[in-house]
Amino acid sequence: MTTVAHELKASYAFIERNFFLTRRYWGWELAFLVYSVAGALSISLIGADQGSPRLLLTLMVGAIFWNYLSVVFGWIAETIEIERWEGTLEYTMMAPIRRSTHLLGSVLYAMAFGLVHTAAILVVLFLFFPNMDLSQANFATVGLFMLLGSFSIVGLGILAAILPLLYVERGAQMAWVLQSLILLVSGVYYSVDVLPGWMRAISALSPATYVLDGVRRGLIDGAPVTTLLGEVWPLVVMGIVLIPAGLWAFGQAERYAKRTGKLKRVG
Amino acid sequence: MTATLDPQLKTTRRASDDRPAAARPARPAATKPALLIEHVTKRFTVGRKRKPVAAITDVSLRLERGEIHGVLGANGSGKSTLIRLVSGLLTLDEGRVEVFGHDIERDEMAVKRLINRVSVDAAFFKKLSPMENLVFAARLYGLDARAAKPQAIAILERLGIAQKRVGRPVEQMSRGMQQKVAIARALLTSPSLLLLDEPTTGLDPRSKLDVQSFIEEVRNSHDATIVLTTHDLAEAERLCSRISILNDGRVVAEDTPEGLKQLVATRYGEAPTLESAFMTWTGRSLDDDVEEDQSGGDE
């Protein structure tokens, strides 16, 4: 029990540190928020321009929930890159904590930050489109898909965080490319049905595909979870598989970095 | 410069050590060496031909508890690699390392609780304050943040950093002050084995003297064993009870500073100084070393 308490305290260290970093880099965070709000509004206005409330909601859901998923993915994927940039990676790797503790702290902060960030965008969109009709919305469905999707995205984020461990110079860029590919194949702003066959096959492997589909059907059509089990089970499986797989792969990558001296590099 | 630590420091050190048993360092066994390095070899694969290059070859060292052991060597001789191997930041290709009887590969977590390291570049989250950085480190080592704060302030004040500076971003501090904060971070966790990798390189004479005095205090009052790599031969002579000279990843000489001076005089007919010893066993002059420093040599 004391070991668990120690590990939880250490996890909190990462949450607190990331909060301090956000506070110190508030100018960048504000700029990023403005950019995200402007992006979400621009995309949503395409729906307004077409005079289609359904298209408007479809695009809004894409903009809002892609923002959440990408913020969570980004924070976790940058777990190593931030420390490499600051030069603190070796000190964190020397600390007497489990790697899962390290990653848990990063994940919890990423999810909290993602929720706050997304809530801010949501408020602006509601103010901009006050006549939006959500009378049919099933918020329980939306919440469940957000929760399940978070687990899967966390697993993918941990896998992406490995890249800067393995590729000192280009790891961060590779994580960015991975995030872009998830955006492309997951039907964020369009139905995956318009994708070529081979891309549709890849979209079936992206958790974001199921999250966005489930959220849209819950929010726009008011569909209960019981009618969306076909979208639920892939997310459950992905969460169960991706998080342990991410932790295992992270351990292997750390060992590789220690064997080849790649923890040392800075910047 | 006082000869002993502020009494508050000693008190807060004990008071803050309220970590659960799992997080608290096991009391080092009195009979075990503080650090035992046996026949350690580390190679890196470099270049397009993927040719392995030995950074450390068959190095063996034994440090007793309370000792300050100096490691001298030219750039690229393997000093930092040796420190990283003991820190668990590199895996061993051959040989074994024990810290107070704990094998660094089999009992990694126990070893991590016993050691800390200060490197030549003070690595921090530069936008955060010294206190925020130190509290982060304290939490990682299982210390209570409320108890760690006064302890951190006491250590920083002892090193000449006023309390009013601990809330400002690290990036606003001079290099010397940053290095002192790095030393405070290491001390805060009360390591039984402290690895100092060129801690005074690049510091002005006053800061260097502050840090050297503090290292002596730590040895005297904190029951710490210290490995110190340095290019400063006067520093090594002042602080170290024993010195190893590394050349091309091998230990080519090891003795007390006095023993090395006598050896180089009697065996090679050189002047009985550490500088003569360094040049004799590394096969290069200090000027060569400075030139390599300026060209950005890394080890």
Q: Is B86 helix (H, G, I), strand (E, B) or coil?
A: helix
CATH, domain B7-294, list 3.40.50.300, 3.40.50.10140, 3.40.50.1980, 3.40.640.10: 3.40.50.300
Q: pLDDT digit string (tens) for B219-232?
A: 887 788 999 999 99
pLDDT grade for B51, boundaries at 50, 70 and 90 = confident
Torsion over CA: A181, A185, A186, A191 (sign): positive
* Residue A49 burial (C-beta neighbours within 10 Å; 0-12, 13-18, 19+): exposed
Complex ipTM: 0.87
On whether any CB of chain B is under 8 Å from the CB of A12, the answer is yes
- Residues A71-83 have a mean pLDDT of 89
Cα separation, B73 vs B58, whole angstroms: 16
CB A237 within 8 A of CB A205: no
Please, which residues bridge with residue B116 across strands?
B194
- Residues B246-256 have a mean pLDDT of 95
CB B111 within 8 A of CB B99: yes
pLDDT grade for A78, boundaries at 50, 70 and 90 = confident
Contact call for A92 and B22, based on CB within 8 A: no
Please report which helix (H) or strand (E) contains residue A112, including its range: helix A99-128
Chain Cα centroid distance, residue B207: 17
If you average pLDDT over every residue of chain A, what do you get? 91
CB A10 within 8 A of CB B142: yes
Residue boundaries of the structural domains of chain A: 2-260
Q: Tokens 């080092």 label which residue?
A: B28
Structure tokens at B287: 């000027």
Q: What is the pLDDT of residue A6?
A: 80
Residue boundaries of the structural domains of chain B: 7-294
Q: For A20, which of B21, B113, B128 is closest by C-beta distance?
A: B128
How many contacts, defined by CB atoms under 8 Å, are there between A and B? 100
| Cβ contacts of A86 on chain B, cutoff 8 Å | 123-126
Contact call for B123 and A263, based on CB within 8 A: no
pLDDT at B140 over 60: yes
Q: For B140, which of A2, A13, A87 is closest by C-beta distance?
A: A13
Contact call for A91 and B123, based on CB within 8 A: yes
Please, which residues bridge with residue B41 across strands?
B94
The percent of chain B in helix, strand and coil, each rounded to the nearest 5, is 40, 20, 35
Give Cα separations from B283 to A233, B73, B233, B289, B290 (angstroms).
Answer: 68, 10, 16, 11, 14
- Residues B187-209 have a mean pLDDT of 90
Residue B296: φ, ψ to 5°: 80, 30
